[in-house]
Amino acid sequence: MLHGIDVASVTSQGEFAYRRDGTLVFDDGLPYAGPGAKDSGPGWVFGGGGGGGRRGGGSDGGKDDAPPTLTFESRFESGNLRKVVQTGPREYDLTLRADRDSNHVQWYYFYVAGTRAGAAYTFNLVNFVKPKSLYNQGLRPLLYSSCAAQVSGVGWRRAGTRVAYFRAGQRHTLTFTVTFDHDNDKCFFAHCYPYTFTDAQMFLTGLHGDRARAATFTRATLCRSLAGNAVDVICISDPPVPLAALGKDDALPDLGGRECVLLTARVHPGETQASWAMQGALDFLTSDCAEARRLRARCVFFVIPMLNPDGVIDGHYRCSLAGQDLNRVWGEPDAARHPEIWHAKDLARRLARAGLRFFCDFHGHSVKRHAFMYGCEPTRDPACRFNPQVDGAVGGAAGVFPRMLSEMCEAFSLPDCDFKVQRSKHTTGRVVVCRELAVQDSYTFEVSFLGGTAGADLVPYHFNLRDIQALGAHFARALLRYLPAPPGEEPLKH
């Protein structure tokens, strides 16, 4: 029994798996049949895809028990919804769009319009592929009500009752029920807080528009994606380091003899919390606080905020437009098929020659709670294998930075960290940078889709946007404690 639903009965009958009887009310492959206005997600202006969905049959929204058929739409930046079949007056089966040329299905982002206040609607997302999900541990979908935003300034919030995730045939189904607060509302649903390519560009442009922050970094285009989108790289330091040398073969900017840090995010498009955490880190690193100033003077930060812009724009969960998981091609990236990783690895290789001290790739995690890290245990020293007693830190030397972060941030869980390298991870960024480029401090930083636990009873709670951005800021602040201070550096005054 999950959230009041007898999963055994509904799966045995197949009722939530995919009802073939019903009325098709949305298909993202069909022409748009509504008004001509272009659409966008909440709070953004984006000129892609048509707005509105195909409206099925239904009443005119009078006082009868059957409300009018909802309108569905996902043809906007980062949107994902393939097809909707209405199976009852207030029940819909939704099929998501798989990543291009792959079987990955997890990210959803769409809106419904034409709601009736006080009416309970059931949504069954019927074609997930992952066998485990945080939806069975308390995770709830995110909802953004256009009416609530306009009337009271409420943004994204958790919504849904009778939430359950279960196997149905060869796939898995997420089901939940929502009672809307407003008539004729336009409500967006998402797996996690959306963060689009446009959001990333607007954020970087905003940093550049702030005179004080703009003095702390330089920005360049590392490369172009398969679809021609810019893959940005920014360099944060004091004084700023020009990036013109990156366009020259095998050249490097002048780092002034300092060590450097390379941070990347969003190689997996559906892990949007990675971008929010990175934004928190960048907000901190470009700020005027004493700790940030000290970090910028001590080392040079290279940041690639969005490694897979095509997948983000296209509403993918894990893959690029080439249909490949870009975090599995670091071993031998192809410059033509994986330009983002080819250039990121080339940058890492150049920085390693100059003194790359620390690498971390930001991710989201769909099964575990809290924030935590994956590292790389030494491959030759048995004494440094996963052992909480080695050097007083989990994971031996590789566990020192995670331990420091755990002491500074309650939402970060040291016991959830793992430093063993599985064979399936040999071609990921953290393992390749560690083993090929000899960077011991090479990690992924994972943020749960759900959140953490609180109190003696370990009650689960959802991370909100402030929590996720704070995790990024704590991560950056922990680097000040971890990275070695140069000779003669005076202690900070608190």
Enzyme catalytic residues: 446
What is the 8-class DSSP label of residue 274?
A: H
Token reading at 60 = 């005119």
Token reading at 111 = 């809106």
Collapsed DSSP state (helix, strand, coil) of residue 141: coil
* DSSP conformation letters of 116-140: -TT-EEEEEEEEE--S--GGGGT--
Token reading at 91 = 């029940």
Dist CA 189 CA 354 (whole Å): 45
Place of tokens 């951005």: 469
Selection from 3, 342, 287 nearest residue 164 by Cα: 3
What residues contact 216, with CB distance under 8 A and at least 6 apart?
A: 236, 237, 238, 240, 285, 286, 296
Distance (Å) of CA 456 to CA 357, 409, 453: 38, 17, 9
Beta-bridge partners for 144:
188
Cβ pair 405, 412 in contact under 8 A: yes
Cβ pair 41, 54 in contact under 8 A: no
Distance (Å) of CA 136 to CA 140, 229, 296, 364: 9, 37, 43, 17
Radius of gyration of the chain, Cα coordinates, nearest whole angstrom: 24
Sign for the CA dihedral angle at 264, 269, 273, 279 comes to positive
Cβ pair 131, 140 in contact under 8 A: no
- Order of strands, edge to edge, in the sheet holding 157-158? 71-73, 109-113, 186-190, 142-145, 157-158
Distance (Å) of CA 447 to CA 149, 373, 379, 471: 27, 9, 26, 8
Dist CA 131 CA 160 (whole Å): 21
